[in-house]
Amino acid sequence: MKQDSLYVSTLAKGLKILRAFDETHVSLSLKELQKRTGLEKSSVQRLAHTLHVEGMLDRAPDTRRYRPSHAWLELAYNYYWSDPLVARALPKLIEFSQAKGETINLAQISQDHIIYSLRLPNQRTHFAASIVGRRVPALITAAGRVILSTTGDDEIKNACAHWPVESFTPKTLTDRDTIFENTCDARDNGFCLTRDQILLNEISLAVPLTGNDGRARAALQISLSSRTYTPEQVVDKFLPALLDTAAGILG
Amino acid sequence: MKQDSLYVSTLAKGLKILRAFDETHVSLSLKELQKRTGLEKSSVQRLAHTLHVEGMLDRAPDTRRYRPSHAWLELAYNYYWSDPLVARALPKLIEFSQAKGETINLAQISQDHIIYSLRLPNQRTHFAASIVGRRVPALITAAGRVILSTTGDDEIKNACAHWPVESFTPKTLTDRDTIFENTCDARDNGFCLTRDQILLNEISLAVPLTGNDGRARAALQISLSSRTYTPEQVVDKFLPALLDTAAGILG
DNA sequence: TTGCATAGTATCACTATTTGATAGTGGCGC
DNA sequence: GCGCCACTATCAAATAGTGATACTATGCAA
């Protein structure tokens, strides 16, 4: 950062302002931006002003608080055009969603997290699981494990030892040995099933979208309620269709 | 811009890099970025480098071309949390989508354009109409007109005279008088129906999501094929449910 | 209403940072 | 193997961002 002569720190500070907004900080005053970014008061003022002028931040005239603008959705739109997998996967996901009436997602690996890039939610899906762009530590998700399982044995071992884990529910599995075993099972089975990891009473089933080199960079994942199905029923009832959908995307 | 002492031009240049990517420019080399932004070669190099280091741009090691990164989806995620209308609308849209099996969208006004902030596509929906964040001139859409129709008469007149129009199909209506009439009809009817405006053989039906002040900032819109339905059938078959969905969101 | 505290706005001299010219490197097609 | 073009790296010059400070507006309490 410091000794990088090509690094433009002013731009980085501007991005820091954008990233100050999250689930629990949906609008921010100048003071709050200052606190959350650690930048100088004047800098925050000028950077936020610039982002506002450039249409990246909206501002409520009464409260003077800044908010994310519609431009944030436009960026997503342009991301979608840039990702060839999205274009191939989307029609197949829609097909699956309408045929089965169940939530289906496209998850992509992004360093040691997975990011949901397409989501076709059904009525029972809660908000955070309905909207694209959510990042979750790869190791605690079925999608992350099944993607990981397609890489080399050393990489699996290394990832299970070092990638971050985080508890979302009391039942979130944070024991790295168990995660490793489960990932190896995924490698052998070609799918991964988890329970209660992100949300209680949620069963998650994922299959890899394997590239030409045999390594997956993405996965298809469905969410079901454990009140409705047992894990075995989920596998029986949905795995074949999920594999078909994956094959359709890759074919 | 120039005589704005609070304006940080370096940040603005960085944003210009981000906005150089669109439907037809899904990945860009340094040279192309230079051309599209009009910035200096060195500036582009440093700004793009910074965006890469900060995770806003990916780079293919072989071709050295820059691409939008997953971070663009994360921004959308955080936008969604910041928009209270989205949270209220999403479950209702899902309900409608699953009940009717037809494409339904949430469109919001954004200056003189509308932006699709939620989309629940069905199988027949083409790619550009399936992904969120698309911006379209408000006047050529049913959603834009029905939102406009809830504002004052002067504003309607002014908007129909000055807001941009753009032809998407040979049948896109660009005659401002006809657009004005259609918007007045929308005001009287409480809904707006268009044909072949964005896509041939597409019927679009929109109803406003009216705020406390009687003015709409958003609309619900559905798309149907004119090969399957006549405009009259669309109104008969879908308008009541669409109005119910809108009422559910506002209630 | 008055007064106080807090948040937002505006100004400006200083200098750190960006700039843009230039030179160096690597890759690809001919 | 040669030459072209794109990308990378360097550095002196000066522009443009900084941060301290002062000013104004807002909201809350007495």
Percent of chain A with pLDDT over 70: 99
Cβ–Cβ gap A123/B18 under 8 Å: no
Cβ–Cβ gap B6/A49 under 8 Å: yes
CB burial of residue A50 (10 Å; 0-12, 13-18, 19+): buried
Residues 193-222 of B with CB within 7 A of strand D? none
Question: Of B215, B204, B203, B205, whose CA–CA distance to B250 is shortest?
Answer: B215
**Positions in chain C where some atom is under 7 Å from a protein CB:** 6-12, 17-22, 28
Residue nearest to nucleotide C18 (CA to C1'): A8
For residue A3, name the pLDDT band (cuts at 50, 70, 90).
low
Whether residue B98 is predicted with pLDDT greater than 90 in this model: the reply is yes
B15-56 pLDDT, tens digit per residue, is: 999 999 999 999 999 999 999 999 888 899 999 999 999 999
Structure tokens at B153: 């008469």
Task: Pick the more confident residue, A1 or A156.
Answer: A156
Task: Pick the more confident residue, A203 or A9.
Answer: A203
The arithmetic mean of pLDDT across residues A158-183, rounded, is 97
Task: Give the nucleotide at minimum CA-to-C1' distance from B28.
Answer: D6
Alpha helix stretches (DSSP H) within chain B:
9-18, 30-37, 41-53, 71-82, 84-100, 142-148, 153-162, 176-189, 231-250
Is A47 in contact with B11 (CB distance < 8 Å)? yes
Rounded Cα distance, B174 and A228, in Å: 52
* pLDDT score recorded for residue A192: 98
| Angle value at C-alpha B220, between B217 and B221, nearest 5 degrees | 125
Residues 55-84 of A with CB within 7 A of strand C? 64-65
Of B6, B90, B131, the CB nearest to A77: B131
**B65-84: b or e for each residue (b if 16 or more CB lie within 10 Å)?**
bbbbbbbbbbbbbbbbbbbe
Longest Cα–Cα distance in chain A = 60
A61-115 pLDDT, tens digit per residue, is: 888 999 999 999 999 999 999 999 999 999 999 999 999 999 999 999 999 999 9
Q: What is the dihedral of CA A35, A38, A43, A49, to 10 degrees?
A: -50
Query: Between the CA of A41 and the C1' of D29, what is the distance in angstroms?
Result: 28
The total of other beta-carbon atoms located within 10 Å of residue B52's CB is 15
* pLDDT score recorded for residue A212: 87
**B160-180: b or e for each residue (b if 16 or more CB lie within 10 Å)?**
beebebeebeeebbeebeebb
Rounded Cα distance, A7 and A167, in Å: 35
Question: Of A147, A176, A148, A150, whose CA–CA distance to A161 is shortest?
Answer: A176
Sign of the C-alpha dihedral, residues B232, B237, B243, B245?
negative
| Angle value at C-alpha A97, between A93 and A99, nearest 5 degrees | 115
Whether residue B241 is predicted with pLDDT greater than 70 in this model: the reply is yes
Cβ–Cβ gap B130/A90 under 8 Å: yes
Alpha carbon of A177: minimum distance to chain B alpha carbons (Å): 29
> Which residue is it, tokens 């406003």?
B208
Nearest CA in chain B to A87: B127
How many pairs of residues across A and B have Cβ atoms under 8 Å apart? Answer: 199
Mutate to test the interface with A, among B47, B78, B100, B124 (most CBs of A within 10 A): B78
B40 touches strand C (CB under 7 A): yes
Residue nearest to nucleotide D5 (CA to C1'): B31
Looking at beta carbons, which residues of chain A come within 8 Å of B56?
A: 15
* pLDDT score recorded for residue A2: 44
A171-207 pLDDT, tens digit per residue, is: 999 999 999 999 999 999 999 999 999 999 999 999 9
Q: How are beta strands B57-59 and B113-120 bridged, if at all?
A: unpaired
Of A13, A49, A70, the CB nearest to B108: A70
The total of other beta-carbon atoms located within 10 Å of residue B35's CB is 13
Lowest mean pLDDT among A32-36, A244-248, B92-96, B145-149: A32-36
Query: Between the CA of B136 and the C1' of C9, what is the distance in angstroms?
Result: 36
Whether residue B2 is predicted with pLDDT greater than 60 in this model: the reply is no
Of A68, A75, A115, the CB nearest to B18: A75
CB burial of residue A235 (10 Å; 0-12, 13-18, 19+): middle
Rg over alpha carbons for chain A, rounded to the nearest Å, is: 20
Q: What angle do helix axes A153-162 and A176-189 make, rounded to 10 degrees?
A: 150
* pLDDT score recorded for residue A1: 39
The kind and range of the H/E element at B210 are strand B202-210
The arithmetic mean of pLDDT across residues B183-192, rounded, is 97
Mutate to test the interface with B, among A79, A97, A122 (most CBs of B within 10 A): A79
Amino acid of residue B234: V
The CA-atom distances, in angstroms, between A59 and each of A29, A34, A49 are 9, 16, 10
